[in-house]
Structure 1
Amino acid sequence: MKFKELDAQMRVFETAHDYCVLRGLYIIARLDGRGFTRLTKKIHQFVAPYDERFRDYMLETGEYLMTSGFKVIYGYTQSDELSLLFALEENTFNRKLRKLNSVLAGEASAKFSLLLGDIASFDCRISQLPSIDKVVDYFRWRQEDAHRNALNSHCYWCLRREGKNVNQATNLMSGLSVAEKNELLFQRGINFNDLPLWHKRGVGLYWEEYEKLGYNPLTGENVPAIRRGIRHDLELPMKDKYSEFVLELVGKSWRHFS
C-alpha cells in the first residue's frame, strides 16, 4: 500500500472524534495541577496554606500562555488552578478541543516545571459558553470557590500547626458553618477579613496599556510611546463589582485583538 493511501486510511482513526468549539461560543480553558498537594506540601514544602513563590509560579505560567500565540482576554488563578478566557474570534487550531486541551496542558506543565525545577503536570478542560452572562457566572463561580477554599485552608492549617493530624483536623472542621470557621480563626488571633485579598479572591491577569518613553533616532528626541503589558492584579473586586470588571475586560478586548 502506498503511503498516501495508508495515511488517508489511518488518519481517520485520529480525527474521527474531532470536536470543535462552534463559532460564536466563548472558550474558557481551566488548567488544574495534577498531584499538586503532594508536590507542594511534601516534596517541595511550600508555605501552607498560601505561598507567594507558588503564587508567582502560577502567574508566570499564566502570563506565558497569554503570550504564546493565543488571544487571551483574561487569566484568573487561585490555588493550583488557572482559567483563561479567549477572545470570541479565537481560531487557533480551528478551535479543535483535543488540540486546545493537549497544547495548553503541555505548555503549562512545561513552563511550571522549569520554574519549579521538577516535573509538574496540568490537565485542561474547556468550557463552551453561549453568552457573556455565562462568562461572568463562570468567573464568579471560581472566585466564590477561592473564598471558600481560603476559609477552609486557613482553618485546617491552624489546626495542623496545633498538632492535629489530617483526620483530626478534618473531623474538627466537619459540619462547621462559615461563622463558626471564622470564629475558629478569630480565637487563634486571625481575622479572616484582614488576610491578603489574593488569598480570598484569587489573582487576575489582563492586558493594559501604559506610556513609556522611547528614543526617536530620526529626531534625536525622547518621545512617549504606548506599550501593552500584562498586569497581575492581587486586589480583585468581588461580587457585583467583579461582574462589572469582567464585562469591561470583554468589552475592551476588540481593541487588543482586532
Structure 2
Amino acid sequence: MANSKYSYVREFEQDSTLLNDCWIVVRVDGRAFSAFSNRHHFRKPNEPRALSVINSAAVQVMSEFDDIVLAYGHSDEYRYIEHLLYSFPVVFCLKETLNCIIDGNSMFDKFNTSIYTAVKILSCVVSLFTSSYCYYWSTFFPNTPLLSIPSFDARIVLYPTHRAVVDYFSWRHVDCHINNQYNTCFWCLILDGKSNDEAYNWLKGTTKVEKNEYLFTSHKLNYNNLPNIFKKGTTLVKSTTKAVNVDDENCLSYNTFDQLDNLSRREFSEGLGEDLVDKERKIWLEINPSELNELELKVKEKASEHNIFVLHCDIVKDSFWELVSPLISD
C-alpha cells in the first residue's frame, strides 16, 4: 500500500508502543467462565481437571515465546512476566522492553516488528492461550466435549521496578488464598443445607480463623491440609541455565524447587469422607490425591520438555525469589 493514494488510512492507526525499561505483565482472564464452568459441570469449589487445562495452556504459551520466563495463575486467571529475576487469572511477565527489542531471540522479532506494541503482545499471548486451552481440553476431559467456546480477555500493565513486579505477583498469590478459603467455606455451608443468600450472609465479616474453625468443626476439614494447587495457585518458572529433570533427585535445580513444591505431601487418606462430597450437586470439598497426582504428572511432563518448572508454593517470601533468580537469569 506504500506510495498509493490509499496509504493515508494508516494515519488512523493508534500508537501502542510501550515504554522502555519497564517490566511488562500480561494478565489473561476467563470471560464468562461462571456460565462455562456450570455448563461443563465443574466440581466445586475447585475442578482440578480445569486447572490442568489452564496450566497446560500456560506452559504452551511459555514454550512458544522465549521472553516469557515466569507465570502465575489460579482459578481462571494467568499472568506472565518476561525475564524478571526471580486468576485462573494467569499472569505472564516479559523482559524489560528495551532488552526485548535488542534481544535477537525476542518473541517480537519473530513477528518482524521493530517496535514494542501492546496490541501485538496482547493478541499473540491471548490468542495462543485460547487455542491451547481448546487443544488440551480433551486431554483432561476425555469424556466431556466442549459444549461452548471458551474465550479470554487480556490486558498489559507496565511496572518500572523489580520490587513492584514482585509485589504484584505477591498480591495475586494472596488473592488466590483469600478466594479459595472463601469459596471452600461457602460450598461447605451449601453442603450443610444453607441457601446461597444464607451462606453469603454468614460469611460477611468473618475472619480467616472463623472460616477455618467452621470447616473443621462441621466436617473435620483442616484448611491447611488442602492441596497447594488450590491454596497457592500455580507458578511456572522457565529455567534458562539448567535442564529440568523432574525425576533426577541429584539435579541441583530439582533439589532447589523440591524445597518449595510439596504438593504430593498431602495429609489425608485415599478414601474420601462421605460428608465432604455431594456428587449430585457437584460439591467436592476433598479431591482424591491419586487424581491430583495423575493430572499433575501430565502437566509436568509437558513442562519439562521446555525446561519449565510447575510449582505450587509460597511466592510471597523473599526466599522464593532468591531461589528462582539464578535459574532464569541469562
Which TM-score bucket, shorter chain as reference? Answer: 0.7 to 0.9
Residue 244 of structure 2: which of 210, 215, 225 is its match?
210
The residue matched to 1:210 in structure 2 has which SS?
A: coil
Q: How far apart are residue 126 of structure 1 and its match? A: 1.0
Residue 224 of structure 1 corresponds to none
Question: Is 1:9 aligned to residue 19 of structure 2?
Answer: no
Residue 190 of structure 1 corresponds to 221
Question: Is 1:74 aligned to residue 149 of structure 2?
Answer: no
Distance 1:125 1:24, change over 3 A: same
Q: How far apart are residue 28 of structure 1 and its match? A: 1.1
Normalized per residue, which structure has more helix? 1
Q: Does structure 2 retain, via aligned residues, the 8 Å contact 1:70–1:90?
A: no
Q: How far apart are residue 165 of structure 1 and its match? A: 2.9
The separation in 2 between residues aligned to 1:167 and 1:178, in whole angstroms, is 20
Question: Is 1:33 aligned to residue 30 of structure 2?
Answer: yes
Q: Which runs of 5+ in 2 are unaligned?
A: 84-94, 102-107, 138-145, 247-304
The separation in 2 between residues aligned to 1:238 and 1:24, in whole angstroms, is 24
Q: How far apart are residue 247 of structure 1 and its match? A: 5.0
Q: Does structure 2 retain, via aligned residues, the 8 Å contact 1:29–1:84?
A: yes
Q: Which runs of 5+ in 1 are unaligned?
A: 213-226
> Could you say which structure has the larger radius of gyration?
1
Residue 221 of structure 1 corresponds to none
Q: Does structure 1 retain, via aligned residues, the 8 Å contact 2:73–2:233?
A: yes
Q: Deviation per CA, 1:74-115, whole angstroms, max 9, x where unpaired?
A: 011111100101122334253211111222222212221233
Which amino acid in 1 is paired with 2:100? E
Q: Once superposed, what is the RMSD of the aligned Cα atoms?
A: 2.2
Question: Is 1:245 aligned to residue 320 of structure 2?
Answer: yes
TM-score (norm 2): 0.65
Distance 1:211 1:32, change over 3 A: closer
Residue 163 of structure 2: which of 133, 137, 155 is its match?
133
Distance 1:127 1:249, change over 3 A: farther
The separation in 2 between residues aligned to 1:34 and 1:137, in whole angstroms, is 25
Paired residues in the alignment total: 234
Q: Deviation per CA, 1:21-61, whole angstroms, max 9, x where unpaired?
A: 22211111111100111211x10011111121111111111
Distance 1:153 1:25, change over 3 A: same
TM-score (norm 1): 0.83
Q: How far apart are residue 179 of structure 1 and its match? A: 1.6
The separation in 2 between residues aligned to 1:165 and 1:175, in whole angstroms, is 18
The residue matched to 1:90 in structure 2 has which SS?
A: helix
Q: Does structure 2 retain, via aligned residues, the 8 Å contact 1:18–1:98?
A: no
Residue 91 of structure 2 corresponds to none
Residue 194 of structure 2: which of 160, 164, 167 is its match?
164
The residue matched to 1:105 in structure 2 has which SS?
A: helix
Q: Does structure 2 retain, via aligned residues, the 8 Å contact 1:61–1:112?
A: yes
Q: Does structure 1 retain, via aligned residues, the 8 Å contact 2:190–2:199?
A: yes
The separation in 2 between residues aligned to 1:238 and 1:246, in whole angstroms, is 7
The separation in 2 between residues aligned to 1:152 and 1:249, in whole angstroms, is 30
Q: Deviation per CA, 1:149-171, whole angstroms, max 9, x where unpaired?
A: 11101011111222333222212
Q: Deviation per CA, 1:176-233, whole angstroms, max 9, x where unpaired?
A: 1222111121122211111111211111111241369xxxxxxxxxxxxxx8521211
Q: Does structure 2 retain, via aligned residues, the 8 Å contact 1:105–1:121?
A: no
What percentage of aligned pairs have identical amino acids?
A: 26
